[in-house]
């Protein structure tokens, strides 16, 4: 006789839960006052328009994105007691890879002693970390991986023109990462949406350095290896798309604004953050904001938010993560937080403002 509906056990799907987070920012600071000496700007102008007060810059010959990412991953493994050989997969979201190949993920694995696993980069501009979370969660859900490290890292100072006031005030360097593990307790990545529109390329891109326009003396002389951004267009699209994708996730998961504990937006510009929160009906005291001290660290902004706010996060908290990037790309991820951040192991500040 078949089991009745009353006695048949319910099956909770296995989800990829974020079980730890860590970050790294290099020790050298570039303040608004220092930028005001370099270009025609001021602390008041930058703060009013962007919300940024300072940003961290990676200095040192031969140091790239992988060096910051490796520091973040080392801290993540240390604080969780995870051995390198226990990691099944590592994904790195970056817009500033150390080189065309091998991938920055490969380099990170080598630096931290992770061997014989799958590792690869994801390039979706500032949305790359959320794209990577969406991809990684599927490896956990289908049972092919049990411990996945997802890294977001960028050395934006390597592609910024410090004579261009429109872009040089915005970006900084840093790395953040999370550990994903299976959970059948109702915690984890509940839903995700990734989107793109290549027509947005004209508004935000790097002209030279790829196969369409390889590096040459002419491209260097014409300063074509730096970020090109049309701020007004990006601002408009970013607000619309981030609000749109979070609204879609809320609708299909029957969520209201008062049911969300934290909005975790990409840290591109404080005005964009505030406008996105307003469209969602979210008060700013429920919005993670770190742009004032890190600037726009591209793929690292969201994991650095999680790292900074970790002590305030509690098991069961509902988080909406949203990002928008060049290309255009945009993404949203709905997460139920898996642990009490205040109880997470501490590394006595190691990893923040440290030395590589």
Q: What is the pLDDT of residues 196-212, one digit of tens each?
A: 999 888 888 888 899 99
For residue 6, is pLDDT > 80? no
Q: What is the pLDDT of residue 5?
A: 42
- Any idea which of 42-46, 183-187, 345-349 has the lowest mean pLDDT? 345-349
CATH class for domain 12-356?
alpha beta
Q: What is the pLDDT of residue 348?
A: 57
H-assigned helices in 39-146: 43-50, 65-80, 104-112, 128-141
pTM of the entire predicted model? 0.93
Residues in CB range of 163: below 8 A, 6 or more apart: 38, 39
Q: Is 91 helix (H, G, I), strand (E, B) or coil?
A: strand
The rounded distance, in Å, linking the Cα atoms of 277 and 287 is 7
Q: What is the pLDDT of residue 101?
A: 95
Kindly indicate the confidence band of residue 228, based on its pLDDT and cuts at 50, 70 and 90: confident
Burial of 273 (0-12, 13-18, 19+ CB in 10 A): buried
The rounded distance, in Å, linking the Cα atoms of 297 and 157 is 10
Q: What is the pLDDT of residue 351?
A: 46
The rounded distance, in Å, linking the Cα atoms of 229 and 240 is 18
- Any idea which of 81-85, 136-140, 351-355 has the lowest mean pLDDT? 351-355
- Residue 296 annotated among the catalytic residues of the structure: yes
For residue 14, the 8-state DSSP code is P
Mean pLDDT across the stretch 298-307?
98
Instruction: Please pick, among 22, 67, 228, 266, the residue that the annotation labels catalytic.
Output: 266
For residue 4, is pLDDT > 80? no
- Residue 126 annotated among the catalytic residues of the structure: yes
Mean pLDDT across the stretch 76-90?
97
C-alpha neighbours within 13 Å on the C-beta side of residue 99: 7
- Residue 228 annotated among the catalytic residues of the structure: no
Mean pLDDT across the stretch 185-189?
95
Q: What is the pLDDT of residue 72?
A: 98
- Percent pLDDT > 70 in the chain is 94
For residue 301, is pLDDT > 50? yes
Q: Which residue has the higher pLDDT, 349 or 124?
A: 124
Q: Which residue has the higher pLDDT, 30 or 347?
A: 30
For residue 155, is pLDDT > 70? yes
Q: Which residue has the higher pLDDT, 202 or 353?
A: 202
Instruction: Please pick, among 106, 296, 299, 317, the residue that the annotation labels catalytic.
Output: 296
Burial of 66 (0-12, 13-18, 19+ CB in 10 A): buried
Q: What is the pLDDT of residue 229?
A: 85
State the average pLDDT for the chain: 92
- Any idea which of 126-140, 320-334, 337-351 has the lowest mean pLDDT? 337-351
Structure tokens at 64: 């790239």
Instruction: Please pick, among 92, 109, 126, 177, the residue that the annotation labels catalytic.
Output: 126
Structure tokens at 326: 């060049």
For residue 279, is pLDDT > 90? no
For residue 286, is pLDDT > 60? yes
The rounded distance, in Å, linking the Cα atoms of 157 and 171 is 7
Other Cβ atoms closer than 10 A to 355? 7
Q: What is the pLDDT of residue 350?
A: 42
């Amino acid at each position: 006789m078949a089991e009745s509906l009353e006695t048949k056990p319910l099956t909770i799907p296995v989800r990829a839960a974020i079980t730890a987070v860590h970050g790294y920012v290099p020790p050298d600071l570039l303040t608004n006052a220092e930028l005001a000496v370099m270009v025609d700007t001021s602390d008041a102008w930058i703060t009013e328009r962007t919300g940024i007060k300072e940003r961290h810059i990676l200095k040192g010959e031969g140091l790239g994105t992988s060096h910051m990412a490796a520091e973040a991953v080392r801290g993540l493994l240390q604080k969780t007691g995870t051995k390198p050989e226990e990691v099944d997969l590592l994904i790195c979201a970056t817009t500033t890879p150390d080189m065309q190949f091998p991938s920055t993920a490969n380099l990170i694995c080598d630096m931290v002693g992770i061997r014989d696993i799958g590792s690869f980069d994801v390039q979706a501009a500032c949305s790359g970390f959320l794209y990577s979370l969406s991809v990684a969660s599927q490896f956990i859900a289908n049972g092919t991986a049990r411990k996945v490290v997802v890294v977001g890292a960028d050395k934006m100072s390597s592609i910024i023109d410090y004579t261009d006031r429109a872009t040089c005030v915005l970006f900084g360097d840093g790395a953040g990462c999370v550990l994903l593990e299976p959970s059948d307790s109702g915690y984890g990545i509940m839903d995700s949406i990734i989107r793109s529109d290549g027509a947005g390329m004209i508004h935000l891109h790097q002209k030279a350095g790829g196969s369409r326009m390889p590096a040459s003396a002419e491209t260097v002389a014409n300063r074509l290896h730096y970020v090109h951004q049309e701020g007004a267009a990006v601002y408009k699209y970013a607000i619309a798309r981030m609000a749109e994708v979070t609204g879609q996730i809320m609708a299909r998961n029957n969520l209201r604004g008062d049911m969300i504990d934290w909005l975790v937006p990409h840290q591109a510009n404080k005005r964009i953050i505030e406008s996105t929160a307003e469209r969602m009906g979210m008060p700013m005291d429920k919005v993670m904001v770190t742009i004032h001290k890190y600037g726009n660290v591209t793929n690292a902004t969201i994991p650095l938010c999680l790292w900074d706010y970790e002590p305030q996060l509690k098991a069961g908290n509902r988080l909406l993560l949203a990002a928008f990037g060049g290309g255009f790309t945009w993404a949203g991820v709905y997460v139920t937080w898996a642990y009490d951040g205040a109880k997470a192991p501490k590394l006595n500040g190691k990893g923040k403002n440290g030395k590589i």
